[in-house]
């Protein structure tokens, strides 16, 4: 998958040749700093790019390439077979419509239920995501819900037609720790109950450790490491992944400075040639500036895009 903000070969890519696979019932985490292309990747899967953005590549889903199907067919997929939870529930929901009306819109578009049946289903969905007094709250507007409850409403809308795939774009952002825990437990229980697959975009490596089976690390529009969650935490093979893990609060010794990645993540227009991480990488060598490292599997089931991954792995083992 490629996402470009304009036409022409010289136009930089927000998402640059990313390939992923997902099994039924699997939870895949995608992590990386802001600007790495995580959210643009999810929007590309749903064919919901901002105006002026060009998409390339293929999205293979249940025997079809969603990149080539007509818009009418794609509208049936969105919300029906694949659902998206956006980062900011308060911005995603229509403030002048009741919550019940917004759930009903999804049910009307993707089911054959009649009006009375749709209302009963909407109540069931709100109860499923843990909203108390669901029948009464259907007639409330978004501003009458807390942030955590709004996130639950977004999940209820996403689950209205029991999709096979849920794309969750930082579903716990800006929520307090208690509410985050409730949302994560809810996603796990729904995965187990409905058998759906989940792609979870997050900044929180702790969330990845708790929720996901596999993880892909993105930097500057590319995947730089992809493996099992256990493999990532036990033996990361890319310097960027190691830096992310080292910067997690609690990873350092008590009363010491928190580790930080020097510099800032590059904008789309300012990405370096060769390995995009090399200007910030403590292990960089001149060769890193002249060649884009391929995503290679030097350990079974573990891919990394670093020209020095074998050498650096040997140094760590020693």
- For 116-157, the pLDDT digits (tens) are 999 999 999 999 888 999 999 999 999 999 888 898 899 889
Same domain, 72 and 185: yes
Same domain, 42 and 147: yes
Same domain, 167 and 286: no
Any domain includes 274: yes
Same domain, 167 and 84: yes
pLDDT of residue 217: 96
Same domain, 35 and 184: yes
Any domain includes 158: yes
Overall average pLDDT of the 31-47 stretch: 91
What's the mean per-residue pLDDT of the chain? 88
Residues 6+ apart with CB under 8 A from 73: none
Neighbour-count burial for 207-245, b at 16+ CB within 10 Å, e otherwise: bbeebbebbbbbbbbbbbbbbebebbeeebbbbbbbbbe
Same domain, 142 and 248: no
The total domain count for the chain is 2
Q: Which of 212, 235, 263 is the last residue of a domain?
A: 212
Give the start-end residues of each E strand in the chain: 2-4, 13-15, 27-31, 54-56, 60-61, 64-65, 82-85, 165-169, 197-201, 214-219, 222-228, 296-299, 302-304
Any domain includes 1: no
Any domain includes 307: yes
pLDDT of residue 89: 82
Q: In 10 A of CB 78, how many CB atoms? A: 18
Concatenated DSSP letters for 15-73? Answer: E-S------TT-EEEEE--TTSSHHHHHHHHTT-PPTT-EEES--EETTEETTTS-HHH
Assign 44 a pLDDT band (cuts: 50, 70, 90).
very high
pLDDT digits (tens, 9 = 90+) for 176-226: 777 778 878 888 888 888 889 999 998 888 889 989 999 999 999 999 999
Instruction: Decide: 33 and 219 in contact? Cβ < 8 Å.
Output: yes
pLDDT of residue 220: 92
Q: Which of 150, 180, 212 is the last residue of a domain?
A: 212
Reading the block at residue 272, the tokens are 């370096």
Pairing between β-strand 60-61 and β-strand 54-56 as defined by DSSP bridges: unpaired
Q: In 10 A of CB 192, how many CB atoms? A: 10
Any domain includes 8: no
Does residue 11 surpass a pLDDT of 90? no
Q: Which of 212, 242, 260 is the last residue of a domain?
A: 212
pLDDT of residue 318: 46
pLDDT of residue 195: 87
What is the CATH number for 125? 3.40.50.300
Instruction: Decide: 18 and 37 in contact? Cβ < 8 Å.
Output: yes
Same domain, 208 and 231: no
pLDDT of residue 58: 93
Does residue 253 surpass a pLDDT of 80? no
Same domain, 237 and 194: no
pLDDT digits (tens, 9 = 90+) for 160-177: 888 999 999 988 776 777
Any domain includes 111: yes
Any domain includes 146: yes
Same domain, 63 and 173: yes
pLDDT digits (tens, 9 = 90+) for 213-234: 999 999 999 999 999 999 999 9
pLDDT of residue 8: 65
Same domain, 252 and 200: no
Overall average pLDDT of the 285-297 stretch: 91
Q: In 10 A of CB 148, how many CB atoms? A: 20
Same domain, 241 and 187: no
pLDDT of residue 251: 62
What whole-number percentage of the chain has pLDDT above 70?
A: 97
Any domain includes 7: no
Assign 100 a pLDDT band (cuts: 50, 70, 90).
very high
pTM above 0.85, yes or no: yes
CA–CA gap between residue 318 and residue 158 (Å, rounded): 48
For residue 313, what are the domain limits?
A: 227-317
Same domain, 29 and 166: yes
């Amino acid at each position: 998958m490629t996402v470009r903000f304009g036409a022409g070969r010289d136009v930089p890519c927000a998402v640059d040749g990313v390939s992923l696979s997902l099994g039924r019932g699997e939870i895949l985490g995608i992590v990386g700093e802001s600007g790495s292309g995580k959210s643009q990747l999810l929007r590309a899967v749903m064919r919901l790019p901002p105006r002026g953005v060009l998409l390339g590549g293929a999205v293979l889903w249940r025997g079809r390439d969603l990149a080539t199907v007509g818009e009418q067919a794609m509208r049936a997929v969105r919300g029906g077979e694949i659902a998206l939870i956006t980062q900011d529930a308060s911005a995603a929901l229509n403030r002048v419509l009741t919550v019940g009306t917004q759930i009903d819109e999804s049910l009307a578009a993707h089911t054959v239920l009649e009006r009375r049946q749709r209302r009963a289903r909407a109540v069931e969905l709100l109860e499923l995501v843990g909203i108390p007094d669901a029948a009464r709250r259907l007639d409330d507007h978004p501003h009458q819900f807390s942030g955590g409850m709004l996130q639950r409403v977004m999940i209820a809308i996403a689950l209205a037609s029991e999709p096979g795939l849920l794309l969750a774009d930082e579903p716990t952002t800006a929520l307090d720790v208690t509410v985050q825990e409730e949302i994560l437990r809810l996603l796990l229980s729904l995965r187990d109950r409905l058998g759906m697959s989940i792609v979870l975009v997050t900044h929180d490596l702790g969330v990845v450790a708790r929720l996901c089976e596999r993880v892909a690390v993105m930097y500057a529009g590319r995947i730089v490491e992809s493996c099992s969650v256990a493999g990532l935490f036990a033996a990361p093979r890319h310097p960027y992944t190691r830096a992310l893990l080292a910067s997690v609060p609690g990873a350092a010794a008590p009363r010491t400075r928190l580790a930080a990645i020097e510099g800032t993540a590059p904008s789309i227009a300012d990405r370096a040639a060769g390995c995009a991480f090399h200007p910030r990488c403590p292990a960089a060598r001149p060769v890193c500036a002249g060649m884009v490292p391929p995503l290679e599997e030097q350990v079974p089931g573990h891919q990394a895009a670093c020209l020095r991954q074998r050498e650096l792995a040997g140094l760590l083992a020693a």
